[in-house]
Amino acid sequence: MDNQVDTAKLTLEDVAQLAGVSRSTVSRVINRRANVSEEARQRVLAVIEETGYRPHPAARSLASQRSSNIGLVIPRRFHTFFSDPYFARLAEGIASACNQHSYILSLFLFYSEEDEHKLLPHISRPGLVDGLIIQSTYAADALFKKLSHSQVPFIVAGRPVQVSNFSYVDVDNSAGAFTAVQHLVQLGRQRIAIIAAPQDTTVGLDRFAGYQRALEESRLPFDQSLFAEGDLSEDGGYCCALQLLRQKPDALFVASDIMALGALRAIRETGLSVPEDIGVVAFDDLPLAAHATPPLTTIRQPIRRLGIELVNGLLDIINNGSQPPRRVIFGTELVIRGSCGARS
Amino acid sequence: MDNQVDTAKLTLEDVAQLAGVSRSTVSRVINRRANVSEEARQRVLAVIEETGYRPHPAARSLASQRSSNIGLVIPRRFHTFFSDPYFARLAEGIASACNQHSYILSLFLFYSEEDEHKLLPHISRPGLVDGLIIQSTYAADALFKKLSHSQVPFIVAGRPVQVSNFSYVDVDNSAGAFTAVQHLVQLGRQRIAIIAAPQDTTVGLDRFAGYQRALEESRLPFDQSLFAEGDLSEDGGYCCALQLLRQKPDALFVASDIMALGALRAIRETGLSVPEDIGVVAFDDLPLAAHATPPLTTIRQPIRRLGIELVNGLLDIINNGSQPPRRVIFGTELVIRGSCGARS
DNA sequence: TTGAAAGCGATACCAT
DNA sequence: ATGGTATCGCTTTCAA
């Protein structure tokens, strides 16, 4: 045990000597190559166990040209997003998948344009990371272009705004929104307003599209005055709701749970009640949705799974290339609670 | 511009040739060493600019034995914590400080014991990271011990539970809690209950200590039946509040905003009102505190600054050693809103 | 101030 | 199956 003290500067060579084999053999054992005699392998393994030897990551990456590192990139527009529980959950899924695959996860948050200029050249070059997971944003499109000229494989979290042949993982935002609105219609609501997510993101666009589709299908007219665009914050939801309430809607589809909290607050302050006066359906199903007053009926998306799939997808691309682009879209699920007025 | 295409495999040697100098000189320029003639430096800089050359991180760390990487470690007990906005904010502060110092931030979330066993040997050896930021937990103490035998510098986020000579950054939890409770006392509350944070964390212990101190100082008796220990979740706060309400308290000090949300929910369901029947003061001042109904009076702690200071502290330790241990404690601030019943 | 050369600690190809 | 060796791209003495 105590011989682990100076373990720090133990090299392959040392292990090889102790085991009475060559560096090559030790390397093979470590990398689980087949062509090693069981006997040699056991001897090496024993020495490694005893000494607590670990290969030096830098030496490894230099020689193999792989870093076993992937980066999670959050472009500028989304800092605030990081205080959004959605993001933490995604990161969690990503991190746990990384653990599973023995990859290290590095975080790149672009706060300022300066950050981006400074970091981009580093991460878009092979060496630092083997691949990147990038949160989709409108602003991120420029980033995608630069990256697609680079050697670094990447996968996008959420459909990229401009159609291009990138690999991505997303949920079916449009279908989810459709379900949400359809549900309200089925409950007899007629004037269904929407607090949309930013329309320069695919999340925003797609959920709005689903809303519109549901109206059409129910032969309800689209009324521009029942549309408001929030910024995904609680405050945003609050402000939008105040504005929309003047139009006397009887229901509200809110494109995110967080904004829905704000909307509930606005409705409460206005003296109206949910779901009696106004039915509300949100999107995300974060843990807080169940704890809102009243509990939010919302569209559940598998955020953690999204994270895991992003990692799996990225590793697949790293190992096998991204031709054709790899795309995965998860379905959503309506979770009925108190805010919509379903009698359940 | 287009010559940046094969920039990927450009080496120091290439740059040296293009600039008509030796590798050594280029290296000196890159590392901002003094002993380079202005002329040579300019030539090299020009070539770097033109070619978009970036040093290979692995080669660099291998040669210099520094990775320019620091790790943020979240021990087991705290996964749930990651969906706590507190954590996201801390990570944000840490990440932005890393950007500033040109360090890469890697995330190590220990989900399972297996994760820990698998990752620890790697991160506790020099090479992968230059240093670690570790979230304090009771469970983390074992981790600290292992690490203090290793070569890897680390700093703790939050005071370690068992007193030892580690470097750490924390807020003055005890003083904050004291202020909170004192405030309630000054508003005339007599039966002040507490929803404490887990008592196997210093956060929990210190805030509870502050609560007790405030009672003592006001000559109010400590009543065990007015004490409940929550798990930092909304649900935890809810359950604790239900339990405490049976004891007819006239005020509640809740050790975290998130738990306070749960407490408000419980109080609401019980038909009591805040602040009339029950004054509530919480701890954290996350953005959501202002949006609760009623808005939470709470103790503000500078979470982002905590993150920044953790990085600065760690870098200081990396560069100058940790003797004596480096300790920074931030003060807190009472933010008065609606939940406490102050007439403001 | 500059350059030559010896590592840093692994991988992987090539013989054997 | 095993070992020798060139190589990865940089930092860092050491001489000049």
The lowest-confidence range among A138-147, A219-228, B199-208 is A138-147
Q: Would B103 be classed as within a structural domain?
A: yes
Q: Would B338 be classed as within a structural domain?
A: no
Domain end (from B42, B64, B86): B64
Claim to verify: residue A156 and residue A74 sit in the same structural domain: yes
Q: Read off the pLDDT of residues B64-81 as tens digits, 9 standing for 90 and up.
A: 999 999 999 988 765 565
Which residues of chain A does B60 touch, with a Cβ-Cβ cutoff of 8 Å? 58
Give nearest nucleotide to A23 (CA–C1'): D3
Q: Protein A51 CA to nucleic acid D2 C1', in Å?
A: 23
Average pLDDT, integer, range A46-70: 95
Give nearest nucleotide to B22 (CA–C1'): C3
Claim to verify: residue B43 and residue B187 sit in the same structural domain: no
DSSP, res A133: E
Q: What average pLDDT does chain B have?
A: 92
Claim to verify: residue A294 and residue A203 sit in the same structural domain: yes
- Residue B84: pLDDT above 80? no
What is the C-alpha separation between A26 and A31, in angstroms, rounded?
9
Claim to verify: residue A126 and residue A99 sit in the same structural domain: yes
Claim to verify: residue B127 and residue B198 sit in the same structural domain: no
Q: How many domains does chain B have?
A: 3
Query: In which band, very low, low, confident or very high, does the pLDDT at B164 lie, cut at 50, 70 and 90?
Result: confident
What 3-state class would DSSP assign to B188?
coil
Average pLDDT, integer, range B50-61: 95
Under an 8 A CB cutoff, do B82 and A92 touch? yes
Q: What percent of chain B has pLDDT over 70?
A: 95
Which residues of chain A does B95 touch, with a Cβ-Cβ cutoff of 8 Å? 107-109
- Residue A228: pLDDT above 70? yes
Claim to verify: residue A103 and residue A115 sit in the same structural domain: yes
Claim to verify: residue B253 and residue B237 sit in the same structural domain: yes
Q: Would A38 be classed as within a structural domain?
A: yes
- Residue A98: pLDDT above 70? yes
User: b/e for A202-223, b at 16 or more Cβ within 10 A?
Assistant: bbbbbbbbbbbbbbeeeebeee
φ and ψ of B245, to 5 deg: -60, -25
- Residue A2: pLDDT above 50? no
Helix axes A12-19, A23-30, angle to 10 degrees: 100
Q: Would A270 be classed as within a structural domain?
A: yes
Q: Would B131 be classed as within a structural domain?
A: yes
Helices and strands, number each (H, E), in chain A: 14, 12
Identify the pLDDT of residue B82: 62
Q: Protein B66 CA to nucleic acid D15 C1', in Å?
A: 27
What 3-state class would DSSP assign to B27?
helix
Average pLDDT, integer, range B21-31: 95
Claim to verify: residue A103 and residue A194 sit in the same structural domain: no
Q: Compare all CA atoms of chain B with the CA of A148 and give the residue at the minimum distance.
A: B5
Q: Would A340 be classed as within a structural domain?
A: no
Query: In which band, very low, low, confident or very high, does the pLDDT at A335 lie, cut at 50, 70 and 90?
Result: very high
| CATH code of residue A190 | 3.40.50.2300
Identify the pLDDT of residue A142: 80
Q: Would A134 be classed as within a structural domain?
A: yes
Answer yes or no: are the C-beta atoms of A123 and B107 closer than 8 Å: no
- Residue B120: pLDDT above 80? yes
Containing domain of residue B111, as a range? 69-171+304-331
The lowest-confidence range among A74-83, A90-99, A238-247, B223-232 is A74-83
Domain end (from A23, A47, A64): A64
Q: Would B336 be classed as within a structural domain?
A: no
Identify the pLDDT of residue B4: 41
Claim to verify: residue A240 and residue A151 sit in the same structural domain: no
Identify the pLDDT of residue B81: 56
Claim to verify: residue A190 and residue A160 sit in the same structural domain: no
Claim to verify: residue A56 and residue A115 sit in the same structural domain: no
